[in-house]
Amino acid sequence: MPNIRIDHIEINNFKNVKHGVIDLTSKKQNASILALYGQNGSGKTALIECIEILKNAISGRKLPTYASELVNLDSDYSTLSFKFSITEDLDITYLVYKFSIKKEAVETIELNEKSTYTAIFNEVVLISKYSNGKSVSPLKPLIDTTDGEPFGPQTKYRSLIGNKELDTDVIVAKKLAYKSGTSFIFSNELLSLIKNNTNDDIANPLFALNKYGIRNLFVLSTRDSAMISFDALPLVFRFESENNGASGKISIPIQGNGIIPEVFYDLLIKIIKSMNVVLEQIIPGLNVGVKNLGEELLKDNTKGIRVQLISIRGNKSIALKYESEGIKKIVAILQLLIVIYNNPTVTVAIDELDSGIFEYLLGEIMRIISEHGKGQLIFTSHNLRPLETIDKSFVAFTTVNPDNRYIRFTNVKTSNNLRDFYYRDIILGEQSEPVYEPTNNRKIAYAFLKALDVDGA
């Protein structure tokens, strides 16, 4: 599979981001890292949620209903644009995927009620190719669903679909995708029609991006972090199977035990074993184990195994649920960090990476990945320690301007401590956009005092 990375993201009318652009390319190291910093409510989580929506779209999966609630309140829809580089040997294909999302209502005939779903529309794919560093073709539309029915340009349409007898099938596939809240371009129906009716390699980047979304793009949002704090640990893993690989999440309860499919049990043991190689270096003396509590039948009548995660220190073990939130967080993300370190084809986006992790340890882990890692890591953080340990080109900041939400700092010297530089800019505002909405300590203190006068307080 070719090496695929996200090079550029543009966000419009999404949550509190009216417009924001982030370039993720860097020539400093093998790894591709973006660390995003900023005050609360300034668009950090919005970036991760956009990538989560992207994963669903290019994987051909239905967008979650809540996605439509992320549209900016002053707009009817959000528009997201992603530029990818697809590298194979000396050839590079640049692909831009742009689409919009909005809330749509659907009436349930049986119940005579209305429900909502998130619709994808106005999808466009642009493509250009380079060979040996030279442009073979400029950036041009491959599929444009805003131009004609079911999509344009006509020359590309006929090349991809072929037989005119299939035109009706394409139109039906487009309507079904819209009604089901999935991408039309990356729907199983359209990709199957293209695959079965063209030998033209211009469609190969679409198939590669679809596989990338399913197998190699992972997102841990704040919802996953909440699972750590409550009852389930979202253990995310990547593995190769006989069917050219697959990926997914297994939710393993922390507060007690839970059942996993039997087919995943050996894989879970293998993953835990590989994690322990790193874990015992990060937290000396600590290992994680899996306790097999016996077989049970699942709802589909297949075999499952009831398991419990345990923490092992020396000859003593306790249920992992009794460990600190920080250790649980490290266990949750460690397998992904191992994959990023070793595999250039993987992209991982994590919201609030620093949550519960000791800041010195966080900084050292990020330093190691930035200097020697091969994959792509995109994360948000409130902890400023990584600003002192990773290259400055890997860091972006949110601003208080919703029309220009993301910036890179300029005039940063090699000798500058980026953490101190950030603090100074909060106070002095030396960048093109302010990065902090000023607060007044006196007014905050007075507000605490005044709160007692509110009726019922």
Q: Where are the alpha helices (DSSP H) in 204-320?
A: 204-211, 222-229, 265-282
| pLDDT, tens digit, 9 for 90 and up, residues 87-102 | 888 889 999 999 999 9
Cα angle 335, 347, 233 (rounded to 5 degrees) comes to: 35
Region label for 219, one of left (φ > 0), alpha (ψ between -120 and 50) or beta (otherwise): beta
pLDDT at res. 239: 54
> What pLDDT score does 53 carry?
96
pLDDT at 189: 93
Contacts of 369 (CB under 8 A, 6+ apart): 31, 33, 337, 340, 341, 377
Report the chain's terminal Cα–Cα distance, integer Å: 61
Residue 391 main-chain phi, psi, to 5 deg = -60, 140
Are the beta carbons of 24 and 4 closer than 8 angstroms? no
Q: What is the pLDDT of residue 245?
A: 46
Please state, as a whole number, how many other Cβ atoms lie within 10 Å of the Cβ of residue 453: 7
What is the predicted pLDDT for the residue at 10?
A: 97
- Looking at residue 277, what is its pLDDT? 92
Contact 363, 371 (CB under 8 A): no
Distance CA 311, CA 185 (A): 45
DSSP secondary structure letter of residue 416: S
339: which 2 tokens? 């994959």
Could you tell me how far CA 453 lies from the centroid of its own chain?
45
Distances from the Cα of 377 to the Cα of 82, 291, 345, angstroms:
16, 32, 11
Q: Note the pLDDT tens digit of each residue in 224-274.
A: 655 555 455 556 555 554 444 445 566 677 767 888 888 888 888 888 898
Torsion of CA 147, 11, 205, 380, to 10 degrees: -170
Task: Please classify residue 176 by burial: count the beta carbons closer than 10 Å to its beta carbon, then call 0-12 exposed, 13-18 middle and 19+ buried.
Answer: middle
Give yes or no for a contact between 52 and 349, defined as CB atoms under 8 angstroms apart.
yes
pLDDT by residue for the chain (457 residues), tens only, comes to 789 999 999 999 999 999 999 999 877 666 789 999 999 888 999 999 999 999 999 999 999 888 999 999 999 999 999 999 998 888 899 999 999 999 988 766 555 567 888 999 999 999 998 887 777 778 899 999 997 779 989 888 888 888 888 889 999 999 999 999 999 999 999 999 888 877 667 888 999 999 999 888 988 877 665 555 545 555 655 555 444 444 556 667 776 788 888 888 888 888 889 889 999 999 999 999 999 999 998 888 888 899 988 999 988 999 888 888 888 888 888 888 888 998 898 999 999 888 878 888 899 999 999 988 999 999 999 999 999 999 888 999 999 999 999 999 988 888 888 989 998 888 888 888 898 888 888 888 888 888 877 765 5
Give the E-state strand segments of 15-53 in sequence order: 17-23, 32-37
Buried b (16+ CB within 10 A) or exposed e, 131-141: eeeeeeeeeeb
Taken in order 336, 340, 343, 344, the sign of the CA dihedral is: positive
- Whole-structure pTM value: 0.89
Q: Tell me, what's the pLDDT at 138?
A: 85
pLDDT at 242: 47
Is residue 223 exposed (0-12), middle (13-18) or buried (19+ Cβ within 10 Å)?
Answer: middle
- Exposed, middle or buried: residue 32 (CB in 10 Å: 0-12, 13-18, 19+)? buried
User: Bridge-partner residues for 41, per DSSP?
Assistant: none
The count of other CB atoms within 10 Å of the CB of residue 284 is 8
What are the structural domain ranges in the chain?
1-221+351-457, 224-341
